[in-house]
Structure 1
Amino acid sequence: MVGGLVAGRLALVTGAGSGLGRAACQVLSREGATVIAADKNYNAAVETIKTHTALASGANDQDHMAVELDVSDSTAVRNLLDTVMKQSKVPPTIIVNSAGITRDNWLLKLSEQDYDSVLNTNLKGTFLVMQTFAKAMTEAGLPGSIINISSIVGKYGNMGQTNYAGSKAGVVAMTQSAAKELGKYNIRVNAILPGFIDTPMANAVPEKILQGMLKMVPLGRLGHPSEIAEVIAFLGSNKSSFVTGAAIDVTGGF
C-alpha cells in the first residue's frame, strides 16, 4: 500500500506461522512494511505470506519473504541476518519476537526437558533475535523498534504454567533492560502482555477452564490476534516515538 504507519520499513516477525505472529505480518504489511515471516514451521510461514500478508498489503507476495527459523539456535539466527543482509542490504528495523511455545504441567510433575524447551524458545530465543538484529541496526546506524511478546501470565502467574510464566516474566525484565541500553542508539524496545487471545494456544485449553477464565475478563470475550497486531504496528511506527521500556497489557481488562 502507499503510505501507512510503517511504510517503507523492513519488519522481521518470529512465530509468524500462526496466531499473533501471523496477525502481526498481516497488519504490518497492510501498513506498508515489507515483512520477513520467520517460523520453525516453514510451510506455515509460507502460508502466512501467500494467504494473508500479500493480500493484506496488496503487494506481490515476492515482496515479502518466508523463512525457517529456530529462534533458540544462535547459528540459525545469525544465518538469517546474513540472508536478509544479502537480499535487502539493510537490516530490518522492526523486530517482533512472537515465537513462543507452551509445555504445561503442574510444578511437581514438570520435567526438566519441558522447562528447558519453553525457556529456550520464549526467553533465550527472544534474547538471541533481539541481540543479533539490534547489533545489526547499531552497525548500520539505523533507528529501530523491537516489540517483544510477553503474556499476562508473566505478570500474575497461572496454574500449570510455571515454566511459561517464568519465561514471559523474563521477557518483560529483559525488555526493560534492553530499552535502557539501546536508547542511545534510538532503538526502542517494548513488550506487549496479551491476555486470553483466540489463537491455537488458547484453543488447546479445555472449554470449562476457558469459560472460567473469561469470567475474569471485563469485556467478556477472547481477544482477536489482530487486536494485538494493531498495538504491534503502533509500537513499530513513529506514532510511538517516545515509548520505550514499556510493558503494555492488552487483556480486555483482565
Structure 2
Amino acid sequence: MTLPQTPSFRLDGKSALVAGASSGIGLGCAVALGQAGAAVTLAARSADKLADAVAQMQAAGMTAQALALDVADVEATTRAVAEAGPFDVLVNSAGLARHGPALDTTEADFDAVAGLNIKGAYFLTRAVAKGLIEAGRPGSLINISSQMAFVGGIDRAVYCASKHAVEGFTKAMALEWGKQGIRVNTICPTFVRTALSQATFDDPDRLAWVMEKIKLDRVGEVSDMMGAVVYLASDASGLMTGTHLLLDGGWTAD
C-alpha cells in the first residue's frame, strides 16, 4: 500500500503580487506568502510604507520588492502588471469603505467604492490572468472580499454591494479560466483589527453589534488571514476555485 501524500503548502519558485500590501491584511498576506517561499511583489500607493515593509521582509530572509500602484487606475495597473509579471499568485487586498446610512450615500461615495472594490479588482484580476494565459502557466488569484458579501450591514449598503459583486465576477472568471489551470477564489473576513477598522471598535454601539454577531467572541486579527492565503495560493487547495473562505468567527452561521 502506498500512503497518500499531503499536497505542499510551500510556494518556492512562485511569484506573487499583493495589492494593498502596505498595511493591514495586505501586509499580512504578503508576509505569509514570503514565509512560504514565494517571491513577493508588494503593491500599494504609499511608497514609504512599501519600502519599509520590503526592507523588513528582506531582513527576515524573504524575497520581496515594491511596486507603486493605484489599483483604481486601470490603465496604469494593466501596464504595470504586464511589465512586472507574469505572477503565479495574486492577492488583491486593495479596498475602500465609506460607511453611512443609505439615504446619505452620495454619488461620489458610490463611485469611489465601486471604482476600487469592483472595477479595480476586476481589471487587476484580469490583468494577472492575461499574463498567465499568455505564458501558458496556471495560477491562483485571490480577492480579499468580506463576510458582507453574504449578509447586510448597518451603514454598509455600498460596501456590501461592492463585495457581493466581487463574489459574482470571481465565480464567472473561475468558470472561464479553469481549463487553463487558473483558480479564482476569495477570502471573506469578519471585522479584523487594523488601523482602518479602529473607528468601528471605538464606537461602543458598533462594537456591541459586532461582538453579538461573532460566535467565537473575538474580532479577527491579521494573523487569522495568513494561513488562509497560503492555503489558497498553494497546491493544498488545488481543487478549489470559484468559491470563498469565510473567516467570520461564525457570523454567517445563523
1:54 maps to 2:49: no
Q: Kindly provide the CA deviation profile for residues 124-167 of structure 1, in whole angstroms up to 9, marking residues without a partner as x.
A: 11111111110110000000000111101121111111111111
1:236 maps to 2:233: yes
Partner of 1:155: 150
One-letter code aligned to 1:46: A
How far residue 104 of structure 1 moved from its aligned partner, in angstroms, is 1.3
Partner of 2:84: 84
1:195 maps to 2:190: yes
Q: 1:207 aligns with which of 203, 210, 218?
A: 203
Partner of 1:88: none
Distance (Å, rounded) in 2 between the aligned partners of 1:248 and 1:11: 19
Distance (Å, rounded) in 2 between the aligned partners of 1:211 and 1:93: 41
Q: 2:163 aligns with which of 155, 160, 168?
A: 168
Q: Is the 8 A contact 1:4 1:32 kept in 2?
A: no
Q: 1:221 aligns with which of 218, 223, 227?
A: 218
3-state SS of paired residue (1:12): strand
Distance (Å, rounded) in 2 between the aligned partners of 1:222 and 1:204: 14
Aligned positions of 1:39-188 closer than 5 A: 39-51=44-56, 53-56=57-60, 58-59=61-62, 63-85=63-85, 91-188=86-183
3-state SS of paired residue (1:200): coil
Distance (Å, rounded) in 1 between the aligned partners of 2:82 and 2:151: 38
One-letter code aligned to 2:51: V
1:15 maps to 2:20: yes
1:35 maps to 2:11: no
How far residue 216 of structure 1 moved from its aligned partner, in angstroms, is 1.6
Distance (Å, rounded) in 2 between the aligned partners of 1:196 and 1:100: 14
3-state SS of paired residue (1:108): helix
3-state SS of paired residue (1:192): strand
Question: When the two structures are superposed, what TM-score results if normalisation uses the length of structure 1?
Answer: 0.91
Q: Is the 8 A contact 1:219 1:253 kept in 2?
A: yes
Q: 1:247 aligns with which of 244, 247, 250?
A: 244
Distance (Å, rounded) in 1 between the aligned partners of 2:214 and 2:80: 39
Structure 1 runs, 4 residues or longer, greater than 2 Å off: 53-56
Q: Is the 8 A contact 2:82 2:131 kept in 1?
A: no
Distance (Å, rounded) in 1 between the aligned partners of 2:150 and 2:142: 17
CA 111–145 in structure 1, closer or farther in 2 if over 3 Å, else same: same
3-state SS of paired residue (2:150): helix
Percent sequence identity over aligned pairs: 33
One-letter code aligned to 1:54: Q
Question: When the two structures are superposed, what TM-score results if normalisation uses the length of structure 2?
Answer: 0.91
Distance (Å, rounded) in 2 between the aligned partners of 1:107 and 1:155: 18
One-letter code aligned to 2:228: V
How far residue 55 of structure 1 moved from its aligned partner, in angstroms, is 4.5
Distance (Å, rounded) in 2 between the aligned partners of 1:4 and 1:178: 24
Q: Is the 8 A contact 2:9 2:231 kept in 1?
A: no
Distance (Å, rounded) in 2 between the aligned partners of 1:135 and 1:235: 20
Distance (Å, rounded) in 2 between the aligned partners of 1:48 and 1:160: 33
How far residue 48 of structure 1 moved from its aligned partner, in angstroms, is 2.0
Number of residue pairs the alignment of both structures matches: 242
Q: Is the 8 A contact 2:192 2:220 kept in 1?
A: yes
